[in-house]
């Protein structure tokens, strides 16, 4: 017979009621691997060619020691033979061990005494044979079992128990099947079509083709790639919220900035400690920016050196070389500054605007469980006529409410570019504590006036990190598990989608 499939089908072809009584025996007699026969039978069962009935056959197999007994006799008989050979004086235990080996002597001696085949001589302590020969029951039982292919019925229960106790045999359960004709039995298998093809439609053969049934039980393939990192999930949510609030995204797709835009345009003095290499990553190549808007540069320089718009400035020599130094931006406020400059100088003049950005910034900080030297900053600003601190608080409250933080406190703070400045503290309903969540303020006239913004235009702005709300949302307590080379890819794959509840319900719950 060529292959298992036709072997099985033709074994059933003789007459209606033909069966294969046991696949195990069938495989053995046809020289097939049993697993293969089972596999093919199951596949045939799937197409109703055959029906299967599970059989479970129990049989004994001989253990290693039993095989030794089959060839050399049981331990007790071997001990008896040694004692008979030693004659009337018998053997001391060490001498017996020497003769038959330690293991055999131990078991064999015990059984000899129990069977009263030998006795212990009180005076010498030697073992002496009492009978000259004995029937080797154990060996015979094992032979009988082997001859019956391990069939438990070959021996009486007592013998079986004794052999099991001596760990000479162990019971094995084998699963096999009885195979009989199924409702759709055919002597030759016709493969069912899995797909409807254009050719079948063209020729009309689909009308007579047998198709595979749908398997509604099968699991879908898991998707292999394309998971958003939790930071990106939270970013997507924040973007949505900010866009709903009428904010427009700023183009932040560059990491290298000049000191001019990152610091000077923000009225941050050139001697400010944050401008030190300890806090800022400066770029070696190219070390300096190519150009800045010259007329604006002049106005910024004047503001730093001698002031304007009611300010006396910082009163130091503003250095072009310092302003031109390239760096990895330390905040996205560098972009806010450029956007405001554009807004002031666009065709048709200033128009009110709301801008936001969420992008990466870099600070040369000592790294620990909550700080890396890069993070993502969420920044928003509103530029309009006559805005007040109330507008800033209101805007911030609206934003945070949308990300589930409804209780806010503001603490006076200092930023070189905002006045007044406020740190934002939020009561986190999940963590049940107040934490610092952001920074905010109204941009100073010293920053806005050189840009050419109308005098009564006020700009309110705030910033926070994306990492902090993400870590809270995803219950990650070490930033290294969120960002960097230690991140577990499975974490990204399994992270649930991020949703921030609308604040209103939560507010009601708290009242
Ligand atoms: N740039 C500030 C920071 O790095 C955030 C901020 C933005 C503060 C706008 C005030 C106004 O923390």
Cβ–Cβ under 8 Å, residues 348 and 485: no
Q: Give the Cβ contact number of residue 309 at 10 Å.
A: 14
Query: Does any ligand 1 atom lie closer than 6 A to the CB of residue 5?
Result: no
Ligand 1 atom, smallest distance to 421 CA: 10
Query: How close is the Cα of 463 to the center of ligand 1, in Å?
Result: 5
Query: Does residue 462 have its Cβ closer than 6 Å to ligand 1?
Result: yes
Q: Whose CA is nearest to atom 5 of ligand 1?
A: 463
Ligand 1 centre to CA of 255 (Å) is: 17
Q: How far is the CA of 407 from the centre of ligand 1 (A)?
A: 21
- CB-ligand 1 contact for 379 (6 Å cutoff): yes
Is 386's pLDDT higher than 90? yes
In the 8-state DSSP scheme, what is residue 14?
S
209 CA → ligand 1 middle, Å: 70
SS3 labels along 143-199? HHHHHCCCCHHHCCHHHHHHHHHCCCEEEEEEEEEEEEECCCCCCCCCCCECCCCHH
Position with higher pLDDT, 311 vs 213: 311
How large is the greatest C-alpha to C-alpha distance in the chain, in angstroms? Answer: 130
Instruction: Determine the number of helices (DSSP H) and then strands (DSSP E) in the chain.
Output: 20, 14
Across the chain, mean pLDDT equals 91
Q: How far is the CA of 384 from the centre of ligand 1 (A)?
A: 19
| Whether residue 439 has its Cβ less than 6 Å from ligand 1 | yes
Q: How confident is the model at residue 507 (pLDDT cuts 50, 70, 90)?
A: very low
- Distance of alpha carbon 419 from alpha carbon 411, whole angstroms: 13
Q: Per-residue pLDDT for 216 more than 80?
A: yes
282 Cα to the center of ligand 1, angstroms = 20
* Ligand 1 atom closest to 443 (CA): 11
List of E strands, 213-349:
248-249, 256-258, 326-328
Q: How confident is the model at residue 300 (pLDDT cuts 50, 70, 90)?
A: very high
The residue to mutate among 439, 440, 441, having the most atoms of ligand 1 within 8 angstroms of its beta carbon, is 439
Q: If pLDDT is split at 50, 70 and 90, which confidence band does 469 have? A: confident
Name the residue at shortest CA distance from atom 2 of ligand 1.
463
Q: What is the pLDDT of residues 390-424, one digit of tens each?
A: 999 999 999 989 988 888 999 999 999 999 999 99
Closest ligand 1 atom to Cα of 379: 7
How much is the pLDDT for 503? 46
- Asked whether residue 508 carries a pLDDT value surpassing 60, the answer given is no
Reported confidence tier of residue 75, pLDDT bands at 50, 70, 90: very high
Nearest-atom number in ligand 1 for the CA of 361 is 4
Q: Which of 263, 383, 395, 461 to mutate to test the pocket of ligand 1 (most atoms within 8 A of CB)?
A: 461
Average pLDDT of the residues in 297-318: 96
Confidence of residue 337 (pLDDT cuts 50, 70, 90): very high
Q: Is the CB of 330 under 6 A from ligand 1?
A: no
pLDDT band at residue 341 under the 50/70/90 scheme: very high
pLDDT score of 379: 97
Residue-level pLDDT at 506? 46
The number of residues in the chain equals: 511
Instruction: Tell whether the model's pLDDT for residue 457 goes beyond 50.
Output: yes
The arithmetic mean of pLDDT across residues 12-37, rounded, is 91
pLDDT for residue 502: 56
* Separation between Cα atoms, residue 414 and residue 309, nearest integer Å: 20
What is the whole-number distance in angstroms between the Cα of residue 476 and the centre of ligand 1?
Answer: 24
Please state, for a pLDDT cut of 70, what percent of the chain lies above it. 97
Taking the CB of residue 420, how many other CB atoms lie within 10 A of it?
Answer: 15
How far is it, in rounded angstroms, from Cα 393 to Cα 388?
A: 9
Atom from ligand 1 closest to the CA of residue 377: 4
Q: What is the pLDDT of residue 6?
A: 92
Task: Please give the span between the terminal C-alpha atoms of the chain, in angstroms, as a whole number.
Answer: 82
Of the listed ranges 73-77, 217-221, 240-244, the least confidently predicted one is 217-221
Q: Using one digit for the tens of pLDDT, what is the confidence trace for 254-275?
A: 999 999 999 999 999 999 888 8
Question: Average pLDDT, stretch 479-487?
Answer: 90
For residue 327, the model assigns a pLDDT of 97
Query: Quick check: 267 and 303 in contact, CB under 8 A?
Result: yes
Crossing angle of the two packed helices 64-72 and 137-147, in degrees rounded to 10: 110
Ligand 1 site, residue 268, Cβ cutoff 6 A: no
Is the Cβ atom of 331 under 6 angstroms away from ligand 1?
A: yes
Q: Which segment of 199-203, 313-317, 365-369, 456-460 scores lowest on mean pLDDT?
A: 365-369
């Amino acid at each position: 017979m060529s292959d298992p499939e036709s072997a099985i089908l033709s074994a059933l072809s003789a007459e209606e009621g033909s069966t294969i009584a046991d696949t195990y025996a069938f495989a053995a007699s046809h020289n097939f691997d049993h697993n293969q026969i089972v596999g093919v039978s199951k596949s045939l069962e799937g197409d109703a060619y055959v029906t299967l009935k599970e059989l479970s056959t129990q049989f004994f197999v001989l253990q290693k020691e039993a095989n030794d007994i089959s060839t050399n006799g049981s331990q007790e008989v071997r001990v008896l033979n040694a004692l008979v050979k030693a004659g009337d004086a018998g053997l001391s235990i060490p001498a017996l061990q020497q003769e038959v080996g330690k293991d055999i002597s131990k078991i064999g001696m015990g059984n000899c005494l129990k069977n009263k085949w030998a006795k212990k001589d009180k005076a010498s302590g030697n073992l002496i044979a009492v009978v000259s020969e004995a029937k080797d029951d154990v060996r015979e039982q094992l032979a009988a079992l082997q001859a019956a292919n391990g069939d438990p019925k070959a021996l009486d229960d007592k013998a079986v128990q004794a052999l099991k106790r001596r760990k000479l045999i162990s019971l094995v359960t084998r699963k096999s099947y009885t195979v009989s004709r199924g409702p759709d039995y055919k002597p030759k298998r016709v493969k069912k079509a899995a797909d409807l093809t254009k050719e079948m439609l063209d020729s009309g053969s689909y009308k007579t083709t047998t198709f595979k049934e749908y398997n509604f039980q099968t699991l879908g393939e898991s998707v292999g790639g394309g998971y958003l990192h939790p930071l990106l999930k939270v970013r997507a949510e924040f973007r949505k919220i900010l866009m709903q609030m009428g904010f427009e995204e700023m183009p932040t797709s560059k990491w290298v900035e000049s000191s001019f835009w990152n610091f000077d345009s923000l009225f941050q003095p050139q001697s400010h400690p944050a401008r030190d290499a300890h806090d800022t990553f400066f770029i070696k190549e190219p070390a300096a920016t190519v150009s800045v808007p010259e007329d604006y540069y002049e106005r910024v320089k004047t503001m730093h050196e001698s002031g304007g718009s009611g300010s006396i400035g910082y009163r130091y020599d503003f250095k072009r070389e310092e302003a031109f130094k390239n760096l990895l931006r330390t905040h996205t406020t560098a972009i806010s500054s450029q956007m405001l400059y554009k807004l002031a100088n666009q065709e048709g003049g200033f128009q009110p605007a709301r801008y936001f950005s969420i992008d990466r910034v870099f600070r040369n900080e000592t790294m620990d469980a909550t700080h890396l030297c890069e993070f993502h900053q969420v920044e928003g600003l509103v530029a309009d006529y006559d805005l007040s601190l109330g507008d800033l608080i209101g805007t911030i409250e609206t934003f945070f409410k949308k990300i589930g933080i409804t209780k806010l406190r503001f603490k006076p703070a200092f930023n070189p570019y905002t006045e007044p400045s406020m740190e934002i503290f939020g009561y986190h309903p999940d963590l049940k504590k107040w934490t610092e969540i952001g920074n905010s303020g109204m941009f100073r006239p010293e920053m806005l006036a050189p840009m050419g913004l109308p005098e009564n235009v006020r700009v309110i702005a705030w910033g926070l990190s994306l990492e902090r709300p993400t870590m809270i949302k995803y219950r990650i307590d070490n930033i290294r598990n969120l960002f960097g080379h230690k991140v577990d890819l499975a974490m990204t794959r399994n992270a649930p989608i991020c949703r921030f509840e609308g604040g209103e319900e939560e507010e009601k719950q708290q009242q």
